[in-house]
Amino acid sequence: MELIQLSAFDLALAACLVIALAGLSVALSLGIERKLLIAATRTVVQLTLLGLVLKVLFVQSHPLLISLLALFMLLVAGYEVMARQQRRFAGIWGMGVGTLSMFISSFSVTLLALNLIIQVEPWYSVQYLIPLLGMLLGNTMSGIAIALDNLTHNAWQQRGQIEARLMLGHAWQTAIQEIRRTALRSGLIPIINAMAAAGVVSLPGMMTGQILAGSPPFEAAKYQILIMLLIAAGTGFGATAAVWIGSRRLFDERQRLRLDRLQDTG
């Protein structure tokens, strides 16, 4: 089946729905209309620019240009993780914990999938690398943000219990062990829910896109299964790395709780 091209007018009609939602926010005094419109504007601008950049990369397919785009995506994802924290680590650690965790998890899982599972040649083919990395970064970002926010929030709320365990002679790992487990569970809940509902409650985005583009439904389903499993692995490894690095940062070399390394963003 031929792909139906969308016009600017079609997109404008969809935008009217978001504008109507913003009007509803004003009428109900929800106070989210500004954030909603800014987010919608960012979506339009960012995806338009990405489409133009990918158009160039599909023609050029230069490894350096592809690497620069992948690095830019990683840095933006790291910033978004930091921006969503109520209490984030001060200084470079604020962005560094999430960025490093996503680099360890998302990039390694993406390279594994491209080289061992999909076996695309060359492995840096922009058609596969950028969409796959984007989906992994986007979902890993959400899991890491939730896990880190849970970690720092509970460490702040339970600072008295943590310090009591330290005074009783417990190592820092033991003193914050249950908080780390809770943070990890919270970070993994979204992807677990997404996998449990996939194909029953929801039709995932990649599968929907492939079907709309004319791919056979069963082939689209296989790719979506692969993506969901990769996202689950990437989120799990990324959240684990973020929680471990973050919890270690909460203590100094003398195993003292250092909540002064956090800053309250309100």
What's the average model confidence in pLDDT over 68-97?
A: 86
Whether 242 and 78 have beta carbons less than 8 Å apart is answered as: no
Percent of the chain with pLDDT over 70: 96
Task: Please determine, for residue 265, whether its predicted confidence score (pLDDT) is greater than 90.
Answer: no
Tell whether 22 and 66 lie within a shared domain.
no
Task: Please determine, for residue 202, whether its predicted confidence score (pLDDT) is greater than 70.
Answer: no
pLDDT reported for residue 243: 93
Tell whether 139 and 222 lie within a shared domain.
yes
Report d(CA 52, CA 42) in Å as an integer: 15
Tell whether 244 and 155 lie within a shared domain.
yes
Q: What is the DSSP string of 13-72?
A: HHHHHHHHHHHHHHHTT-S-HHHHHHHHHHHHHHHHHHHHHHHHHHHH--HHHHHHHHHH
Of 144-153, 218-227, 251-260, the poorest mean pLDDT is in 218-227
Looking only at the bridges linking them, the beta strands covering 87-89 and 262-264 are: antiparallel
Tell whether 191 and 111 lie within a shared domain.
yes
pLDDT reported for residue 22: 93
Given CA atoms 131, 75, 240, 150 in this order, what sign does their dihedral have?
negative
pLDDT band for 210, please (50, 70, 90 cuts).
confident
Tell whether 190 and 239 lie within a shared domain.
yes
The predicted-structure confidence for 29-44, as pLDDT tens digits, reads as follows 888 899 999 999 999 9
Tell whether 123 and 32 lie within a shared domain.
no
Tell whether 220 and 194 lie within a shared domain.
yes
Tell whether 25 and 120 lie within a shared domain.
no
pLDDT reported for residue 223: 84
The predicted-structure confidence for 125-160, as pLDDT tens digits, reads as follows 888 888 889 889 988 998 999 999 999 999 999 999
Q: What is the dihedral of CA 115, 120, 122, 124, to 10 degrees?
A: -70
Domain-terminating residue out of 12, 40, 60: 60
Residue numbers of the domain that contains 163: 62-264
Tell whether 56 and 105 lie within a shared domain.
no
- Total number of domains constituting the chain: 2
pLDDT reported for residue 52: 87
Total-model pTM: 0.81
Nearest to 75 by CA among 125, 153, 165, 137: 137
